[in-house]
Amino acid sequence: MTAKNLATVTNELITCYGNTAKNVINAYRVGNARAVGYVDQSWAAAVNKTGPRLSAEVRVNAMAAQKKVSGFYARGVEMTSDSADVAVNKAVELAGKGVVQVAANASRFEKATGVTLKPLAVAAVPAAQAVTKVAARIEVQSGLLANKIAGKKASVKTASVKRAVAKKTVRARKTA
């Protein structure tokens, strides 16, 4: 297993939280889509149930009004969820760049102050890896939640929990 540095582990953690946020946004999106479908179906059933008590024109107008309201609501949900996706992508991107920049400036800091950060960073890696494992599990569960809310498989990005891979050693054969 190769040793990971703190910046790499931190970027993995940021990515996990970004994917979790996207899963929650997707759960919001598909949950609202199901709610709109239910309201449309209930409205249509109520209008049809009234039957001859309402004129055909009133029934047509009621259905058209409901479709307009549902359309506005669905577009609002789409716009807010798309905006949230863009915001999460940008936040993950900027946070990742920030981590890379901090890592790049660490040597300058060490030279300027005379303080060595390497032992501190090495000591922090196991804790950061543990937090990343927890975040990966949360990410997976948020994807499962979005799928459950959708009622069918939704297009959610889920990641499997990363496991440490043991490196196999291969002995070289001696040739005669």
- For residue 35, is pLDDT > 60? yes
Higher pLDDT, 45 or 174: 45
Q: Output the six-digit token pair for 101.
A: 């920049």
Residue 142's Cα: distance from chain center in Å? 8
* Domain extents in the chain: 6-150
* Averaged pLDDT for residues 57-77: 94
Contacts of 95 (CB under 8 A, 6+ apart): 14
What confidence category does residue 24 fall into, taking pLDDT thresholds of 50, 70 and 90? very high
Residue with tokens 């990343």: 132
| Number of residues that make up the chain | 176
User: Which of 19-23, 84-88, 146-150 shows the lowest mean pLDDT across its residues?
Assistant: 146-150
* Averaged pLDDT for residues 146-165: 58
CB-based contacts of 144-147 (< 8 A; 24+ apart in sequence): 145/23, 145/27, 146/23, 146/24, 146/26, 146/27, 146/30
Contact 95, 7 (CB under 8 A): no
Contact 157, 18 (CB under 8 A): no
What confidence category does residue 149 fall into, taking pLDDT thresholds of 50, 70 and 90? confident
Q: What is the pLDDT of residue 76?
A: 96
Q: What is the pLDDT of residue 113?
A: 85
DSSP SS3 for 175: coil
- For residue 84, is pLDDT > 50? yes
Torsion sign, CA atoms 36, 141, 92, 157:
negative
What confidence category does residue 51 fall into, taking pLDDT thresholds of 50, 70 and 90? confident
Higher pLDDT, 122 or 75: 75
Q: What is the pLDDT of residue 156?
A: 52
Contact 103, 5 (CB under 8 A): yes
Higher pLDDT, 161 or 118: 118
Give the whole-number percent of the chain exceeding pLDDT 90. Answer: 45
Is pTM beyond 0.85? Reply is: no
